[in-house]
Amino acid sequence: MHSNHPGLAPPELLLGTAMWGWTVPEQVCFSLLDSFYGAGFRGIDGATNYPINKIPADFRKSERILLQWIHAHGVNDLRITMKVGSLDNMRSPECNLSKSFLLFCLEEYGSLFAANLETLMVHWDNREIPEEIDQTLEGLAAVVAYGCHVGLSGIRNPEIYATRNELFGLDFKIQIKHNLLQSDYARYAPFHGKRRFFAYGMNAGGLKLDTTAYHDGSSLKARGGDTTNTAPLIAAIAAFLRDAPPLKHLSHTGLLYAYYHPDMAGMLLGVSSVEQLADSLDFYGVLRQTDCREQYLRLLTMQQDHAQPL
């Protein structure tokens, strides 16, 4: 078995739910869960405000889909991460990260998911007042005392969390956007040196090498992202894939880029079809059995060669 750290387990896989009930229809979500669970995986990533599609009626829709599947199958061994604090799904930073609200979320999701709940994460925090963050840390400490893991995602000022956490000593899981075009890893420097990070957006939010492949249901297009593929690195990736076995697709480069990162503990799969999921699981199996460090180093060199000047 090949890992980013010899002797350690490979980064775990989590099934992402950000587009569920938006670009991923309910029945497809159920099929994804069937396939993922059937393959032996248990990690699920969710958030109160998924899908973030600016349709108020869809607030918490993704978790409702997940709950339907759990109840239908009587499952009690998932490892669910729920990101909490956001108050709407309008792509706004409005949030409540007070101690009392975090305890409310713990009670709510503890009741809904029972033994399936593993982690509560602070989601989308733009605050810069240390005393306010202290209240959040007090709440997270209570979550840990209850028996859940805690984490951070979308934090504007992670250095404040690091400093204020010296009093609490909380062991955070941290979700970061991490792909060849963009990574938030450097912003979390105070937390480096431990396998605590979980990569999302590994495929750059649904980027496609062929601009004609985008359709109305494409996640990047739905989010309003750039579908022109003008970055020089994109052409280099396309050329790389022509001679980089066992890598075949852009999604493979994203998985490889995260898999070999020394601080990466997990990877979130933002797949929208059973076929995409099967391909990702197959390639994850290849990474576990095949030494792809040479291809990883080639990716790093290519990334450095095409780095955008500051």
Q: Is the pLDDT of residue 222 over 90?
A: no
Q: Is the pLDDT of residue 226 over 90?
A: no
CATH T-level assignment (fold) for domain 12-204+263-291? TIM Barrel (3.20.20)
Q: Is the pLDDT of residue 4 over 70?
A: no
DSSP secondary structure string, the chain?
---SSTTSPPPEEEEE-TTBTTTB-HHHHHHHHHHHHHTT--EEEEETT-S-SS-GGGTTHHHHHHHHHHHHHT----EEEEEE-B--SSS---B---HHHHHHHHHHHHHHHGGGEEEEEEEEE----HHHHHHHHHHHHHHHHHT-EEEEEEES-HHHHHHHTTTT---EEEEEEBSSS-B-GGGGGGG-SSS-EEEE-TTTTT--SSGGG--TT-HHHHTT---S---HHHHHHHHHHTT-TT--SHHHHHHHHHHT-TTEEEEEE---SHHHHHHHHHHHHHHHHS--HHHHHHHHHHHHHTPPP-
More confident residue, 216 or 287: 287
Residue range 73-82: mean pLDDT, rounded: 99
pLDDT for the residue 237: 92
Q: Is the pLDDT of residue 223 over 90?
A: no
Lowest mean pLDDT among 143-157, 216-230, 271-285: 216-230
pLDDT for the residue 310: 45
pLDDT band at 309 (very low <50, low <70, confident <90, very high): low
pTM of the entire predicted model: 0.92
pLDDT tens digits for 39-70? 999 999 999 999 999 999 999 999 999 999 99
pLDDT for the residue 220: 58
Lowest mean pLDDT among 104-108, 183-187, 234-238, 276-280: 234-238
pLDDT for the residue 211: 62
Q: Is the pLDDT of residue 214 over 50?
A: no
pLDDT for the residue 144: 99
pLDDT tens digits for 115-158? 999 999 999 999 999 999 999 999 999 999 999 999 999 999 99
Residue range 283-291: mean pLDDT, rounded: 98
Spell out the domain ranges in the chain: 12-204+263-291
pLDDT tens digits for 23-32? 999 999 999 9
Residue range 222-248: mean pLDDT, rounded: 81
More confident residue, 231 or 237: 237
pLDDT for the residue 210: 61
